[in-house]
Amino acid sequence: MMVLSLAACGGGSKSTTDTSAAADGAKSGDGGKITVAIWDNGQKPGLQQIIDDFTKATGYQVDLQVITWDQYWTLLEAGASGGDMPDVFWMHSNESQKYMENGILMDLTDKIKSSDKLEMDKFPKEIKSIYEYDGKTYAIPKDVDTIALWYNKKMFDEAGLAYPDDTWTWDDYYNAAVKLTKPDGSQFGTAMNPSNNQDGWYNIVYSMGGKVISDDMKKSGMDDPNTLKAMEYVDKLRKDAMPDATVMSETGTDVLLQSGKIAMLPQGSWMVAPFKDNEYIAENCDIAVLPKDATTGKRVSLYNGLGWVANAKTKNPEAAWKLIEWFSTKENQESRHSLVLQWLHTRAFQISGRTAQISSTFRHI
């Protein structure tokens, strides 16, 4: 498995919320009230329950706000420039470096060391390293996600094709995708998120032995022969078995799967809950591992993890830290994931986690 610093963890989802209302509330709290900002509306109910328990135990009032992914980083940057940010918020590996370098995040190093409620050794070291800078720790990992293959059983049955399994290569994937694509444009074999490389072409590049950046992170890997081979494959797949890029971007690949427009979709574990609750997917779809490359034999599933961070200039530093600590205990980590554990522990995600490569190449892209 390969650790990733790219757009992920729900960034491609088309879920919405009242961004204007959230933006008004996602500012540093006053007095005993703190604000929390996240971007996934699907996780709000579970987090709200944990927050309610936190308030009962500590007396701190917490305002949880959901901001759409498209607006989240714009509002955070504006808040950082204007000195008015939420007290606690999600951090993404794609953005963490600049926030740490510029002193925007609270240094949690000593607080973590003195805590008797955390088990930091249980978090993957590659994920922890994303949120470390200059010997200091600025976040506690919120989660770990990875990629599997959702496929439409009904479409496979109608085409007389065997379901994907762990023997599949990317050649098998292409051949099935072409056969599942209808000439009239009513159905396509697959889709690929154009704005999120974690569930897109990066898995193919590394599976085929290529790289996006050198191991020392000083040179592009896009001219590597294996990378070029992978990109030629992706281009062929795009031309022969995918909807138009504009359709994938504007509609969302998750919506295409939910509406029966595509037969296969590599997608992240952050979509387990919404897919689980979607009637069409629950009835017609299942999960398999990503294909492997026929030449290298590698099956690569990139993984990533968000982090809980605090505003370095929060007016309520003690409350902000206590909430992050509360979120990060074993009990509350398990509670937050209880609704999706059944799907997360399917064979597809277990095999993805067991057989893919581990690398820290993408720590600071």
Query: Over the stretch 139-160, which tens digit does the pLDDT of each residue have?
Result: 999 988 889 999 999 999 999 9
pLDDT, position 352? 44
Residue 187 reports pLDDT greater than 70: yes
Instruction: Report the distance separating Cα 205 and Cα 357, nearest Å.
Output: 13
Q: Is the pLDDT of residue 46 over 50?
A: yes
pTM of the entire predicted model: 0.75
Q: Would you state the pLDDT for residue 357? A: 35
E strand intervals along the chain: 2-3, 33-38, 61-66, 88-91, 132-133, 136-137, 140-141, 147-152, 188-190, 262-268, 285-288, 302-303, 307-310
Rounded to an integer, what distance in angstroms lies between the CA atom of residue 148 and that of residue 146?
7
pLDDT at 104 over 70: yes
Domains for the chain: give ranges and CATH numbers.
Answer: 8-144+305-340 (3.40.190.10), 147-300 (3.40.190.10)
Torsional class of 309: left (φ above 0), alpha (ψ -120 to 50), beta (otherwise): beta
107: DSSP letter = P
pLDDT confidence tier of residue 12, bands split at 50, 70 and 90: very low
Q: In terms of residues, how long is the chain?
A: 365
DSSP state of 83: T
Closest CA to 353 of 307, 280, 303, 309: 303
Residue 110 has pLDDT above 80, yes or no: yes
